[in-house]
């Protein structure tokens, strides 16, 4: 893909993912234009003031709930990365209608506008919480996954293709447990919901670069899942504050003990490659079905869960992941 000829728009572009995505795009790929689409003028101003500016940068104020604004913003766009979402689990539980309006109906609007404006590549960000969801956030992301994947049927003979990336917790992103642990370290007591709890982890840069690779390889209809390590949340707490006291407070509403990136049902349509998995679309006649020529099908009954993952972060790897944040306390 010749990025220097592409116009890219990222929804939710002032978030932690969006800022890192724009940074890497500007430094390493130099696209023709990058459009940051978000609803917060202050964050756009702060992002511009932080150096995210130049002849290729554009800032659009708008909300993914506003279909007409999306159509205007998507004019002349080649690639869309859909990162806008309400993602705080407790906030989504307490404000269910808002979560549905942004995460599901907002996704529908992105799809409609992309089809109308003939955008070629649309990649939506998803999460392990969309697999067998037990909270509203996960349920909205599952619905969004289905919307984006199945909307390839609407594309028909047009150039528009829709795919998703699905990965686990991003170290240090907004809503991450790391800032909470850093605050609690000052008082010497860290709260842990359950000492057995595990999560999939990757850095912000890893998430962005995996997303870029997915854009370059997508045919439409796939869910791209990176091979990423697991980590015990208790081990993370000990790495951040080894001398602190740890208080077990119990799992909160909407939380799982362990997360799943690929379910047993996903596995039936999943292909394993060297550094990622690709969940092919099931029961559809359109694109995204040539991955089996590039990898190998997963064995029947495979489940990729954070507690049974073969890849675990060692102590020094945990320390390296959290090192950039250790000065923020």
Question: Is 177 contained in some domain?
Answer: no
pLDDT, tens digit, for every residue of 161-190? 999 999 998 887 766 788 888 889 888 999
Give the phi and the psi of residue 272 in degrees, each rounded to 5.
-100, 130
The average pLDDT across 294-304 equals 93
Domain CATH number, residue 64: 3.40.50.720
Residue 267 confidence (pLDDT) above 70: yes
Question: Is 313 contained in some domain?
Answer: no
pLDDT, tens digit, for every residue of 83-116? 999 988 888 999 999 999 999 999 999 999 999 9
What percent of the chain is predicted at pLDDT more than 70? 96
Domain count, the chain: 1
Provide the whole-model pTM. 0.94
Query: Tokens 């049902």 identify what position?
Result: 265
The average pLDDT across 225-245 equals 92
Q: Check residue 329 and give its pLDDT.
A: 46
Q: Which residues are catalytically annotated?
A: 129
On whether the CB atoms of residues 301 and 265 are closer than 8 A, the answer is no
Give the span between the Cα atoms of 200 and 208, in whole angstroms. Answer: 16
Q: Could you list the residue range(s) of the whole structural domain that residue 55 is in? A: 3-168+201-220+258-307
């Amino acid at each position: 893909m010749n990025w220097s000829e592409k116009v890219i728009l990222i929804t939710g572009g002032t978030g932690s993912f969006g800022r890192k995505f724009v940074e890497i795009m500007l430094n390493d790929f130099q696209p023709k234009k990058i459009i940051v689409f978000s609803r917060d003028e202050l964050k756009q101003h702060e992002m511009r003031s932080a150096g995210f500016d130049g002849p290729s940068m554009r800032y659009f104020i708008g909300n993914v709930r506003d279909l007409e604004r999306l159509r205007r913003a998507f004019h002349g766009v080649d690639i869309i990365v859909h990162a806008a979402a309400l993602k705080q689990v407790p906030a989504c539980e307490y404000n269910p209608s808002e979560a549905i309006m942004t995460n599901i109906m907002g996704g529908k609007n992105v799809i409609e506008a992309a089809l109308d404006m003939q955008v070629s590549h649309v990649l939506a960000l998803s999460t392990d919480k969309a697999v067998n969801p037990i909270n509203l956030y996960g349920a909205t992301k599952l619905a969004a996954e289905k919307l984006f994947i199945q909307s390839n049927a609407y594309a028909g003979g047009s150039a528009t293709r829709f795919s998703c990336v699905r990965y686990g917790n991003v170290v240090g992103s907004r809503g991450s447990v790391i800032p909470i642990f850093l605050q609690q370290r000052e008082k010497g007591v860290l709260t842990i919901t359950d000492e057995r709890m595990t999560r999939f982890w990757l850095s912000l840069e890893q998430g962005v670069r995996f997303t870029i690779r997915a854009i370059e390889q997508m045919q439409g209809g796939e869910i791209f899942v990176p091979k990423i390590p697991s980590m015990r949340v208790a081990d993370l707490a000990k790495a951040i504050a080894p001398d602190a006291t740890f208080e077990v407070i119990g799992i909160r509403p909407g939380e799982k003990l362990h997360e799943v990136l690929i379910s047993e049902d996903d596995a039936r349509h999943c292909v394993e490659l060297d550094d990622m998995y690709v969940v092919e679309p099931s029961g559809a006649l359109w694109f995204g079905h040539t991955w089996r020529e590039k990898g190998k099908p997963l064995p029947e009954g495979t489940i990729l869960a954070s507690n049974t993952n073969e890849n675990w972060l060692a102590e020094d790897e945990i320390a390296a992941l959290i090192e950039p944040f250790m000065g923020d306390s």
